[in-house]
Copies of this chain bind each other. A is one copy, B any other.
Amino acid sequence: MKNQQFVLAARPEGLPEEKHFRLEDLAIPAAGSGQVVVKTLYLSVDPYMRGRMNDRKSYSPPFPLDKPIAGGAIGQVTESLTETYRPGDIVSGFWGWQRFAAVDAGQVRRIEAGGAPLSAYLGVLGMTGLTAYFGLLDIGKPQPGETVVVSGAAGAVGLVVGQIAKLKGCRVVGIAGSEDKIRYLTEELGFDAALNYKRPDLPAALQEACPNGVDVYFDNVGGTVSDAVLALINPGARIPLCGQISLYNNGKPDVGPRIQPLLLTNTALLQGFLVGQYADRSAEGMEALAKWLAEGKLRYRENIIEGFENTPQAFIGLFHGDNTGKQLVKVADPV
């Protein structure tokens, strides 16, 4: 058994590439007081992590150079200096891109053996599912009969947003980046319509798909896709602002039509949020998501790349539209 980690070797200026990451060997850590050592089983790679690779002020501090990149993960405890966890326990948490990591016990959460596969606890029953749940319901407040548009609709967050909006009785229109994704959204997930953002007539197609305007726009993408959606918002529209993946790799601030006049004349609300703001309500969200999942009302896909050594590649793929649903790296099987 040996340990390995990926560190941030250089800050990307635009799209991240393999050269920005460096694989290093290191010793397996020992647990400190109140810590567990986890063997990583799955790593979550998510678009927001690109922001932390810049040396700019944001909601999370920048990743330091030459230190391991950190993200959501699932692991199995191999050593414990706590009362709470024993070797063999499966936990989810947030730690470095490492095969083995020492983590404070307060930073992990036990996963009980149960209905859903382990990987779901990084997706539909994890950060991305909760992001969809709280952003849509707490900020978007969709009402029956309203029109909900979601961008990045075939991503881990977007596909949950659309399905919850359907459960709430809304007309749901997804925007995604391939014909395969479009078909998945309409034929398998029950979206009322889905549009490829690459089509040149997106604004007109969107208007046709939203004959009653847009009441809720769950934005994962930003840029010109958002320009097209915002042109259609109704009075009192709500816009949960979850991501801006189209802009994450821009070195300079992007320029576009100012949105304040549209937001003003429609008395609209736009709210940037983080799932962490809802930490004290995560049990509520988990319960609802697990119930819908068990009832077959919530479906999902995962895109799982095998092998720790492929972690940077999995992350890079997020910005090339490679994934439908949650992008994960499978590092090891539990014992």
Contacts and interface: CB of A to CB of B under 8 A. Distances in A.
B274 A261 contact: no
A270 B265 contact: no
B268 A272 contact: yes
A222 B260 contact: yes
A10 to B, nearest CB: 22
A277 B267 contact: yes
A58 interface: yes
A143 interface: no
Contacts of A242: 264
B235 A264 contact: no
A244 B260 contact: yes
Given A51-B265, A241-B263, A264-B272, A258 B59 contact: no
A84 interface: no
Contact of A264 (B223, B241, B263): B241
Given A59-B265, A265-B57, A272-B266, A253 B260 contact: no
A271 B260 CA distance: 9
Contacts of A263: 241, 270-272
Interface string A242-271: 111001000001111111110111111111
B256 A258 contact: yes
A260 B235 contact: no
Contacts of A253: 257-258, 261
Contacts of A57: 265
Contacts of A270: 260, 263, 269-271
Across chains A and B, which 10 residue pairs bring their CB atoms closest together, nearest first?
A: A264-B272, A58-B265, A253-B257, A263-B272, A267-B272, A270-B270, A254-B258, A269-B271, A256-B258, A241-B264
21 contacts: A51-B265, A58-B265, A59-B266, A244-B264, A247-B260, A253-B257, A253-B258, A253-B261, A255-B255, A255-B256, A256-B256, A258-B259, A259-B259, A259-B260, A263-B272, A265-B272, A267-B272, A267-B273, A267-B277, A268-B271, A269-B271
